[in-house]
Amino acid sequence: MRLSWWKILCILLLLTISIAGFLGGVPAKPILNETIRNLYFHVPMWFSMMIFFIVSLVNSVRYLRNGDLRYDTYSVEYANIGILFGILGLVTGMIWANYTWGKPWSNDPKQIGAAIALLIYFAYMVLRNSLVDPDKRAKISAVYNIFAFAMLFPTLWIIPRLVESLHPGGMGNPALNTNDIDSRMRTLFWPVAVPAWTLLGVWITTLRIRFKLLEEQKLEHA
Amino acid sequence: MKHIITLFRKDLLLEMRQQYSFYGILLYVASTIFVLYLAMGQPEDEVWNGLFWMIQLFVCVNAVAKSFLQESRGRLLYFYSIAGARDFILSKLLFNALLMAVLSITSWILFSLLLGNPVQNGLRFMGVAMFGGLGLSLVFTFLSAIAARAQQNAAMMAILGFPLIIPQILLMMKLANTAFSHVIQQGLLQIVLLLAGMDILVIALAVILFPFLWKD
């Protein structure tokens, strides 16, 4: 079994965040209380989701530039993993909201934004599945991917800053309120939690890409 | 620029000669609003506003859908040989923006006839309606190009477009709400600038990406 250094790092970081995330000290805040630990699990999901969607976009652009179908595979697999992390982020957020806001869904601008993002990428998958010819599928879905990304992300980054929200960091930074967390949490969040989950996603995706490329090779030789 | 104008005039001329499609879409607007009137009577301001934008959305999908879906393969090939892809998409964007502006005003008139007219500041509402129609028509024109290349119908356009358009629709409703009273709200300019920025972004993306859709 071959484990490259970043896979070992990923395992170590995930172990650290699972243990220190539950046992480490956190500031006592009203309403939030111990649920602030969700920062280590819920927030990195969105960071990774955005990273994966950006990687997917870059690969779509690369496909359009040189027409290599490999980039199309990269693009769709990174979109897939982004969808998975988006769903996980939504679920962890809804569990958290159930205890802090009283109900899992309250039409908060951030929940709506997340739901829109997922709907858009579901539409991307539907568009892909409606096309049979691989070259045409790659080209049209790459165009939609770029268009959708450009339409979606400005709204995800700008609109939460314009409207009121119950979410921590209500006004201003949509991801987290930097005043809520202290230095203990910050040292666990940026260098451990965010890279841990992102690396896990990259690991899953590289496996899926390898599997898919091998499958295509098999089809070619069959 | 000359090509764009020519292609635009061609679309206009086609519309004049085959008026059934334009009247068809007008009838679509009228009958939807009539059904709405039978179902809702004269609703409150907020409901009125929500319904208005939903109708705008559906009218836009149906009006814009035909811009690419109606062109046959052979005709597209012909346009490709006489004009560039960029001129073609720009002329389509221009034409659909005009079409949607006309339809926006039509549906506002019908709304105020049947569902009552809660709008206090008519001029502002008209501006917002046309601005909103412009945003909708730009996005859906490009999506109809994608749907047409995927050999899909208008249903695919709805799947692709509705999630994309939600943020814009929400902002539009917020903007339109200000025309219902004489109270001035803050942060309006920000929303207008954001929406205008998105319109420009859509045009830029259409110009950049359309050539890839066109080529086979």
Letter for the amino acid at A75?
S
pLDDT score recorded for residue A70: 93
pLDDT score recorded for residue B216: 64
Q: B212–A158: do the CB atoms touch at under 8 Å?
A: no
Q: Which of B164, B197, B212 sits opposite A143 (nearest CB)?
A: B212
The region that residue A165 occupies, defined by phi over 0 for left and psi between -120 and 50 for alpha, beta otherwise, is: beta
CA atoms within 13 A on the CB side of A119: 17
Q: A119–B212: do the CB atoms touch at under 8 Å?
A: no
Region A93-121 average pLDDT: 90
* Residue B59's pLDDT band (cuts 50, 70, 90): very high
More confident position, B176 or A2: B176
Separation between Cα atoms, residue B213 and residue A139, nearest integer Å: 7
| B66-77 confidence digits (pLDDT tens) | 777 777 777 777
Q: B197–A154: do the CB atoms touch at under 8 Å?
A: yes
Secondary structure of residue A63 in the 3-state scheme:
helix
Q: Which of A120, A123, A147 sits opposite B142 (nearest CB)?
A: A147
Residue written as token pair 């039978």 = B38
Q: In angstroms, what CA-CA distances link A148 with A63, A129, B7, B146, B160?
A: 16, 17, 27, 12, 9
Q: A143–B209: do the CB atoms touch at under 8 Å?
A: yes
Q: A146–B205: do the CB atoms touch at under 8 Å?
A: yes
Q: Which of B149, B159, B201 sits opposite A150 (nearest CB)?
A: B201
| B105-117 confidence digits (pLDDT tens) | 999 999 999 998 8
pLDDT score recorded for residue B73: 74
Region A44-69 average pLDDT: 95
Our CA angle for A145, A60, A132, nearest 5°, is 75
| Interface check B166 vs A, CB under 8 A | yes
How close A141 comes to chain B (CA, Å)?
Answer: 9
pLDDT score recorded for residue B54: 94
More confident position, B174 or A9: A9
Region A121-132 average pLDDT: 93
Q: A120–B163: do the CB atoms touch at under 8 Å?
A: yes
Chain A hits for B216, CB-CB cut-off 8 Å, are 136
| B82-102 confidence digits (pLDDT tens) | 888 888 899 999 999 999 999
Assess contact for B64 and B100: CB atoms under 8 A. yes
| B126-168 confidence digits (pLDDT tens) | 999 999 999 999 999 999 989 888 877 778 888 999 999 988 9
Q: In angstroms, what CA-CA distances link B61 with A130, B40, B129, B188?
A: 20, 23, 16, 27
Assess contact for B32 and B58: CB atoms under 8 A. yes
Q: A139–B164: do the CB atoms touch at under 8 Å?
A: no
Chain A hits for B141, CB-CB cut-off 8 Å, are none
Closest by CA position to B99, among listed B21, B167, B46, B177: B21
Closest by CA position to B212, among listed B92, B85, B94, B83: B85
Assess contact for B38 and B119: CB atoms under 8 A. no
Beta strands in chain B (DSSP E): none
- State ipTM: 0.91
Selected residue of A133, A140, A159 to mutate for chain B interface (largest B Cβ count, 10 A): A140
